[in-house]
A = this chain, B = another copy of it.
Amino acid sequence: MTLLDDIAGVGTDPARGGYSRHGFDTAELELREWFSAEATRRGLDVTGDRNGNLWAWWGEPGDGAVVTGSHLDSVPGGGAFDGPLGVTSALEAVDLLRSRGFRPAKPFAVVVFAEEEGGRFGVPCLGSRLLTGALDPDRARRLTDPAGTTLADAARAAGIDPAGFGADPAALARIGVFVELHVEQGRGLVDLAAPVGVADSILAHGRWRFSLSGQGNHAGTTLMADRVDPMLPAARLVLDANRLVSDVEGARATVGRIVPTPGGTNVIASTVDVWLDVRADDDERTRAVVDAITAAAADTARGSGCGLTVTEESYSTAVTFDAALRDRLAAGLGGVPVLPTGAGHDAGVLAAHVPTAMLFVRNPTGISHAPAEHAEPGDCAAGAVALADVLADLAGPAS
Contacts and interface: CB of A to CB of B under 8 A. Distances in A.
Contact of A221 (B218, B256, B267, B341): B341
B185 A218 contact: yes
B246 A256 contact: no
A267 B260 CA distance: 18
Given A246-B224, A366-B221, A117 B266 contact: yes
Contacts of A32: none
Contact of A119 (B148, B264, B372): B264
Nearest to A277: B219
B238 A223 contact: no
A77 interface: yes
A242 interface: yes
Nearest to A119: B264
Contacts of A231: 238, 255-256, 258
A185 B219 CA distance: 10
Interface string A208-250: 0000000111111111100001011011111100100110000
Interface in A20-49: 20
A396 interface: no
A118 B236 CA distance: 28
A399 interface: no
Contacts of A261: 15-16, 77
Given A77-B261, A220-B185, A269 B252 contact: no
Contacts of A220: 185, 203, 205, 252, 277, 279, 341-344
A100 interface: no
Interface string A73-103: 0011110000000000000000000000000
A366 B216 CA distance: 11
A219 B368 CA distance: 9
A369 interface: yes
Contact of A263 (B203, B254, B257): B257
Contact of A265 (B118, B222, B236, B251): B118
Given A265-B256, A266-B256, A77 B372 contact: no
- The secondary-structure label for the interface of chain A is loop
A367 B216 contact: yes
Contacts of A185: 218, 220-221
A147 to B, nearest CB: 9
Contacts of A341: 220-221
Contacts of A16: 261-263
Interface in A36-69: none
Interface of A: 13-18, 20, 75-78, 117-119, 122, 124, 148, 185-186, 203, 205, 207, 215-224, 229, 231-232, 234-239, 242, 245-246, 251-258, 260-270, 275, 277, 279, 313, 341-344, 366-372
24 contacts: A17-B270, A75-B262, A77-B216, A77-B263, A77-B264, A78-B262, A186-B218, A219-B252, A220-B279, A222-B366, A223-B252, A224-B251, A229-B254, A231-B255, A235-B239, A256-B263, A256-B269, A257-B265, A258-B258, A262-B370, A265-B313, A266-B277, A266-B369, A268-B369
